[in-house]
Amino acid sequence: VKRSWLASLLAFATCAALVSASGRAADDGFTPDLRAAIDGANKEGTLYITWGNILGGPDGARDLERLVNQKFGTHLKFVYTPGPSQPEMAGRIAQEAAAGRPASTDLFGTSMSPENAGLFQTIDWRRYVPGMPESNMRYQRRGVAYATVLWGITYNTNLVPKDKVPKSLRDLLRPEWQGKVGVRVTATDTGFLALPEVLGAQGVISYYQALLAQSGGLLRCGSEERVSSGEFLFFFPDCGTGRLLAMHGAPVAQVIPVEGGAVFDWLAGIPKNAPHPNAARLYIAYLLSRDGQDFVWRTMGADSELLPRSKMAAIVQSYRARGIKIYNTYDVLLKDPKLVESSQKALTALLQQSANK
Amino acid sequence: LTRGRPDLASVTIAVLVTIGTLLVLGLLAFVVWMSFARVAGGVVAGAPTPANYLTVFADPVVVRAAANTLIFAAGTVIIAGAFGLPLAWLAERTTLPGRSLIAAFLTMTLLIPGFFTAMGWLLLLHPRIGVVNQVLMQWFGLHGAPLPITNIFGMAWVEGLTLAPVFFIMAAGSFRATDTTFEEAASASGASGFQLLRRITLPLMFPAILAAGIYVFTSSLGTFDIPGVIGLSNRILTFSTYLYLKTSAQNGLPDYGPPAAFGTVVIGFAVLLGVVYIRMLARARTFQVVTGKGYRPRLVRLGSFAWLAWAFVGAYFTLTIVLPLLLIAWSALLPYYQPPSLQAMHLLSFASFAHVPWALILRGLQNSLVISLVAPTLALVLSMAFSWTILRSKLRGRLLLDGVAFLPHAVPGVIFSLGAILVALFLLPKWIPLYGSVAIIVLVNVVAWLSFGTRMINSALIQIGTELEEAGPASGASHFETLRRIIIPLLAPTIVSAWLWLVLLGLRELTRAVLLVTTDNVTLSVITWSMWTGGLINQAAVVVLATIAVLIPFMALYFYLARRARDFGET
């Protein structure tokens, strides 16, 4: 009798523990994949982030370390290193992969493209963020959109008189702006300019030739401070992140040219040779959560228009309501990949040649 | 190495010299080999090909970069000479009161990283945000900036200012040692001070000036600091920034072939310059005398012109350190950079300091300290082995070893970085994790400093009589014991001084590190540069101030030891 009583007690305790554990799991709202990532991340202990001013740069990495650990109950250490532009980082990841070395970053933050998408892991992010739309994932689920930025012309509001703010792309070519335009160093997401109704395949090349002859230098995304300082009066095509500086009182604003603007999504990806892939999954899963989206807005002045309660979606809608044509660069790529690819290839060659005036 | 049965000391020296030779020649040979290699899919494949050379010579970007590099290096020599030569003359050949301070000022200047100065000069003379240009445009109603720095001449101006101390050190040494007999004869014949300078002193100094010029020229050929800060974002490429761009591909894999081909051409050119340099130095020595205790150089009395001379010294110091650093401090106090104005004064605060990523800075500092403490130590150990073999052994072909040790000065350091990356990625097995490690930066710095180390130890070793070394074995001591108890203590002042100098250079080094860093081995200087180019201008400025705070104790120690060594020499 004593033995059966002990067995019953043991069975009850086991059931209670199981119920309690499953209750906790249900309470925390984490999916099994996310829980597995948490376990894996705890073993990894570290996350390497190598980029420039993305998501608040070093400050952002420090804040996200606290927020991610708080949300997932982990004790991860985020190791932020200021690095080259993301397209350059893709080149470095590719070289490291070819040489059989681990990547020097666990995260890729912006410019995923058909050329570099193969470097990243295929992940179904809906298994980590239930309810996330399929459309947030791109390039066979190798990248996931966490921020939508609006493409246009950033200018210095102190140094460009109101009546001379460019209205069209051609206005940037006016002689008075010679040497004062900073051109984005990469041609990523410029494919829509080659559409017949915008500049056309040949038109975009002629335009870039004139623009580069006009430009004072090549700028990376996140360099809007060089416009607010007056070093450059314009940044085109900008990366849509000048809004944050403007929110802090810096003399910058953005204008969408009459030819049209574009939205493009910044895609996060995890390199196949990432040394801490589970920690990277938690980082991205956090960015896709509501709290994470608020963080993205605070540090970049943007969030993903595809996710619920997006502020960016409202902004884009307001432009469209005013009759301004706003293209989606990914849709353009899907619709006419050959046009986009050939146009970006030609523009990249022009940009490389113009690296030395 | 010495005749007789090899002992522990001889074997150790032989091993060290072999390691040093393999490092120098191995890295260069790999660059040359890579220049003929086909790289496909990130790995070397196929038979050797001249295709990389054809690509390089057909590329207008390379041709312009090569022309820019030559103009930049020549301009640097002119500016460095324009400041360094008169300053050396004032310090060594005049009665200028307090002239011994000039050397201290210039040493301090040399230790401030060149790219800090460049950042400051951009804020001073940028065509749109440069304070000086803005003031001049307002005063004179000009439409364009009268003194734009964003061109190859502006870059040469800043590089020349930062390398003037090198010219000073080399010229001062020559002014100190040149035979004054001719000057005395000319003076007795009634020549004025100016005539003396123009017709006697400068012609006598010519080989030394030329040698200093070649030294500065080769130093600036591959420098990254100033071309990286001023040139890169203003579309002016030089050799080093071309290498940087090519090895940081924006689309797909980096193409190492063309940069290796360009690097090989520069190696050839640099070796040629190195040979000319050594010949000039040898010619300069024929005009020198072994000065005894009674030797006193002839000093020119400046009289009432002394204030003008100090104004010149002050102007140099202000241009090189004070103004650039003031502008950097200004930008550190702003939330986003604005040129100095009353309006911008309202934005000043210490908020940037609260946002400084201290964890990142400490990581960079830790790596920088490891590199700047370990690399000089290893470089000097290798240098001692080289110098000993060159000056004390009877090894056949030992003068070739002197050439090997000199190569790292002639060949731009960035080429050794390229060689190290190529070796780490393509040659070493995966279980040797050199790529992205602190060790790879240490290794490249050791190679780069071998030249400096051997020059320093060679000159100290020459002054130590061989009878002292012979006394050791005569008393029954082994070679190792003789080295440890006689030679090293005698060399100690030179070794300590050279070590500290290299520590300071290591803390500011950017050119070689910029190609080699990843997450695990990032240095303080690369953090600053990355922040600057990534648009984090105020945070970069804060890191500059933090770096200077780190440099100050080392500088103080250097000056303290230099003073002690001088006092010791005088007593």
CA distances from A303 to A299, A322, B536 (A): 10, 21, 22
Choose the closest CB to B252 out of A91, A104, A217. A91
Phi/psi of residue B85, nearest 5 degrees: -70, -50
pLDDT given at position A23 = 44
CB contact under 8 A, B129 and A231: yes
- Cα end-to-end distance, chain A, whole Å: 94
Q: Is B246 on the interface with A (CB under 8 A)?
A: no
pLDDT given at position A47 = 97
CA distances from B96 to A87, B122, B309, B547, B550 (A): 56, 33, 8, 34, 33
Choose the closest CB to A222 out of B61, B64, B535. B535
Q: How far apart are CA B116 and CA B422, in angstroms?
A: 29
Whether B242 and B256 have beta carbons less than 8 Å apart is answered as no
A88 Cβ contact list (under 8 Å, min separation 6) = B248, B249, B250
Q: Is A230 on the interface with B (CB under 8 A)?
A: yes
For chain B, 571 residues long, give each residue's pLDDT as a single digit of tens: 445 566 777 888 899 999 999 999 999 998 898 889 887 666 677 778 888 899 888 888 888 899 999 999 999 999 999 999 999 989 888 888 888 888 888 877 876 778 788 888 888 898 888 888 988 998 998 888 899 998 999 999 999 999 998 888 888 877 776 667 777 787 788 777 777 777 887 787 787 788 888 888 988 888 888 898 888 877 788 988 888 887 776 666 777 888 888 889 888 888 888 788 777 777 766 655 444 444 556 777 787 888 899 999 999 998 888 888 888 888 889 887 777 888 888 888 888 788 778 888 889 999 999 999 999 999 999 999 999 898 888 888 777 888 888 888 878 888 888 889 888 888 888 788 898 899 999 999 999 999 888 888 887 887 777 777 777 777 777 777 887 788 888 888 888 878 888 888 888 888 888 888 888 899 988 998 888 877 777 888 888 888 888 888 877 887 787 777 666 554 4
Please choose, from the candidates B35, B114, B27, the residue with its C-alpha nearest in 3D space to the C-alpha of residue B508. B114
What are the beta bridge partners of residue A132? none
| Residue matched to tokens 């502008």 | B327
| Residue matched to tokens 């400041």 | B83
B222 Cβ contact list (under 8 Å, min separation 6) = B239, B240, B266, B411, B412, B413, B414, B415, B511
Which amino acid appears at position B213 of this protein?
G
CB contact under 8 A, A104 and B235: no
CA distance B358 to chain A (A): 9
- In B, minimum Cα distance to A178 occurs at B144
Please choose, from the candidates B313, B316, B323, the residue with its C-alpha nearest in 3D space to the C-alpha of residue B118. B323
CB contact under 8 A, B253 and A356: no
Interior angle at CA A244, CA A241 and CA A250, nearest 5: 110
Q: What is the 3-state secondary structure (H, E, C) of A283-317?
A: HHHHHHCHHHHHHHHHHHCCCCCCCCCCHHHHHHH
Q: Is B359 on the interface with A (CB under 8 A)?
A: yes
Q: What is the 3-state secondary structure (H, E, C) of B217-249?
A: HHHHHCCCHHHHHHHHHHCCCCHHHHHHHHHCC
**Per the structure block, which two tokens stand in for B476?**
């029954």
Whether A154 and A234 have beta carbons less than 8 Å apart is answered as yes
Whether A139 and A114 have beta carbons less than 8 Å apart is answered as yes
CB contact under 8 A, B235 and A84: no
Element (H, E) at B448: helix B438-462
Please choose, from the candidates B272, B246, B248, the residue with its C-alpha nearest in 3D space to the C-alpha of residue B52. B246
- Which candidate in A51, A80, A81, A190 is best for mutational testing of the B interface (most B CBs within 10 A)? A81
CA distance A241 to chain B (A): 12
pLDDT given at position A270 = 97
Q: How far apart are CA B133 and CA B151, in angstroms?
A: 14
**Burial of residue A208, with CB atoms counted within 10 A of its CB: 0-12 exposed, 13-18 middle, 19 or more buried:** buried
CB contact under 8 A, A98 and B531: no
**Burial of residue A355, with CB atoms counted within 10 A of its CB: 0-12 exposed, 13-18 middle, 19 or more buried:** buried
CB contact under 8 A, B235 and A355: yes
pLDDT given at position A44 = 97
CA distance B137 to chain A (A): 15
- Collapsing DSSP to helix, strand or coil, B359 comes out as helix
Which of the pair, A15 or B69, is modelled with greater confidence?
B69
- In B, minimum Cα distance to A112 occurs at B251
Residues of A in contact with B252 (CB under 8 A): 91, 94, 115-116
pLDDT given at position B257 = 84
**For the complex shown, is ipTM > 0.90?**
no
Choose the closest CB to B250 out of A91, A229, A249. A91
CB contact under 8 A, B425 and A101: yes
CA distance B214 to chain A (A): 26
CB contact under 8 A, A97 and B64: no
**pLDDT tens digit string along A106-141?**
999 887 888 889 999 999 999 999 989 999 999 999
CB contact under 8 A, A50 and B235: no
CA distance B43 to chain A (A): 7
CA distances from B215 to B164, B167, B202 (A): 11, 8, 18
With both helix axes pointing from N to C terminus, report the angle between A290-300 and A57-72 in degrees, rounded to the nearest 10.
170
CA distance B38 to chain A (A): 15
Q: How far is CA A69 from the centre of its chain?
A: 22
Q: Is A335 on the interface with B (CB under 8 A)?
A: no
- Which candidate in B518, B528, B529, B532 is best for mutational testing of the A interface (most A CBs within 10 A)? B518
Please choose, from the candidates B255, B251, B227, the residue with its C-alpha nearest in 3D space to the C-alpha of residue B239. B227
Residues of B in contact with A245 (CB under 8 A): 336
CB contact under 8 A, B425 and A95: yes
Phi/psi of residue A317, nearest 5 degrees: -60, -40
Q: How far apart are CA A187 and CA A176, in angstroms?
A: 25
- Which candidate in B361, B519, B532 is best for mutational testing of the A interface (most A CBs within 10 A)? B519
Whether A72 and A107 have beta carbons less than 8 Å apart is answered as no
B-proximal residues of A, 273-292, CB under 8 Å: none
- In B, minimum Cα distance to A77 occurs at B359
Q: What is the DSSP string of B508-551?
A: H--TTGGGT--STT--HHHHHHHHHHTT-HHHHHHHHHHHHHHH
**pLDDT tens digit string along A320-338?**
898 888 998 888 988 898 9
Whether A238 and A301 have beta carbons less than 8 Å apart is answered as no
pLDDT given at position B293 = 46
B-proximal residues of A, 48-77, CB under 8 Å: 48, 50, 52-53, 57-59, 61-62
DSSP B321: I
Choose the closest CB to A355 out of B61, B252, B337. B61
CA distance B487 to chain A (A): 45
**pLDDT tens digit string along A17-54?**
554 444 444 456 789 999 999 999 999 999 999 988 78
**pLDDT tens digit string along A215-249?**
888 887 777 888 888 889 999 998 887 888 888 88
Choose the closest CB to A99 out of B42, B65, B237. B42
- Looking at chain A, list the stretches that DSSP marks H as alpha helix, in order from N- to C-terminal side: 2-28, 32-44, 57-72, 86-98, 201-214, 225-228, 242-247, 277-288, 290-300, 311-321, 329-335, 337-353
Size of interface A-B (CB pairs under 8 A): 170
